[in-house]
Amino acid sequence: MVAQIINGNEVAKSIRAELKEEIAGMKMSGVTPGLVVIIVGEDPASQVYVRKKGEACVELGIDSETIRLPAETTEQELLDLIEKYNNDKKFDGILVQLPLPKHINEQNVLLRIDPSKDVDGFHPVNVGKMVVGAEDCYLPCTPHGIQELLVRSGNDPKGKHVVVIGRSNIVGKPITNILLQKAPGADATVTICHSRTQNMSGFTKQADILIAAIGVPNFVKADMVREGVVVIDVGVNRINDPTAKNGTRLVGDVDFESVKEKAKAITPVPGGVGPMTITMLMKNTVKAAKIHHNLKK
Ligand code: L34
């Protein structure tokens, strides 16, 4: 089988075109969405992601600010800064890029963000709303992007067996909750596997849709999937490659070359889930601005 390559850049582009138009319309009513992104420390991958978020804002006409703080920033300093933006009406969304330095408690930080500005969907109020399927919540960007990729590539999860590998709060747990909702674009049967799962292949081979989010380069091999599976690769791992220009290259959690021979459809890395994460952040920021300004959906 020759797999359909699910092009995240293309899907992201069409959603961004929709958003651009919507934002232009909002500006006519005097509303410009605003996003502040806060990054603490120098993690190189985080720097890249945060830069891309700023660029996407510029492209779409969202007001944005990126605050870069040194790794030594104290938890209290960060909490105070969040409080400042909670009270600043210019900004509809506040995002604190993860991971944070070890001395800062992540849960304390996420709890401090005003849930109505939590465009990452990581505040427990939004997590709870997601679980019960409430309309007025912000869905976390990566899993929401995965759902859009599936639907827009013609691979609706309805009635399918989705197997997720990974149980993180950013991807594994939320994608499970989103896809099992009784709702359009969901209605799946979902199984989660993780690092302590016994006989993982026994589960992954049953998947109609396999979502890999473990952070281990090339973890999923061809012998772990069945013919005709749809594969979503959430991994973004930088590995050494002496043949590459700068000595490294990006690979996913899936051994793309072998798995694509068996799959019906598969996302590449880069150019799969990554661009969707950023695009859904833009979508959440627009949603926040509408809520804050009482604009129609
Ligand atoms: N608070 N922290 C918070 N929110 C998030 O939504 C994130 N995430 C994850 C890490 N920490 C976070 C991101 O922004 C992962 N993530 C993310 C964002 C963008 C990309 C990948 C991960 C992305 O654009 N990936 C490109 C390649 C980028 C490169 O060249 O390195 C791609 O095509 O996959």
Residue by residue, pLDDT tens for the chain (297 residues) are: 789 999 999 999 999 999 999 999 999 999 999 999 999 999 999 999 999 999 999 999 999 999 999 999 999 999 999 999 999 999 999 999 999 999 999 999 999 999 999 999 999 999 999 999 998 899 999 999 999 999 999 999 999 999 999 999 999 999 999 999 999 999 999 999 999 999 999 999 999 999 999 999 999 999 999 999 999 999 999 999 999 999 999 999 999 999 999 999 999 999 999 999 999 999 999 999 999 999 976
Residue 209: per-residue pLDDT: 99
Which ligand 1 atom is nearest residue 45's CA? 31
* Protein residue closest via CA to atom 20 of ligand 1: 274
For residue 216, the Cα-to-chain-centroid distance in whole angstroms is 18
DSSP state of 74: -
Residue 1: per-residue pLDDT: 73
Continuous segment of H or E residues that includes residue 22: helix 8-28
Measured in angstroms, how far is the CA atom of residue 29 from the centroid of ligand 1? 32
Residue 57: per-residue pLDDT: 98
**Identity of residue 16:** R
Instruction: Determine if the peptide bond prior to 184 is cis (ω within 30°).
Output: no
Residue 25: per-residue pLDDT: 97
Which ligand 1 atom is nearest residue 140's CA? 6
Ligand 1 environment, Cβ below 6 A: 48-49, 52, 95-98, 120, 141-142, 170, 236, 250, 269-271, 274-275, 277-278
255 flagged as catalytic? no
Residue 296: per-residue pLDDT: 78
Q: How far apart are the first and last CA of the chain?
A: 42
- pTM for this entry: 0.97
Q: Which two tokens stand for residue 284?
A: 């959440």
Dist CA 220 CA 233 (whole Å): 9
* Protein residue closest via CA to atom 3 of ligand 1: 97
* Protein residue closest via CA to atom 9 of ligand 1: 98
Residue 224: per-residue pLDDT: 98
97 flagged as catalytic? yes
Angle (CA) 239 267 254, round 5°: 45
DSSP state of 262: T
Distances (CA, A) of 199 to 150, 223, 230: 27, 13, 21
Residue 30: per-residue pLDDT: 96
Measured in angstroms, how far is the CA atom of residue 202 from the centroid of ligand 1? 30
Which ligand 1 atom is nearest residue 8's CA? 33
Query: For the chain, which domains are there?
Result: 30-115 (3.40.50.10860), 141-274 (3.40.50.720)
Q: What are phi and psi of 237, to 5 degrees?
A: -115, 130
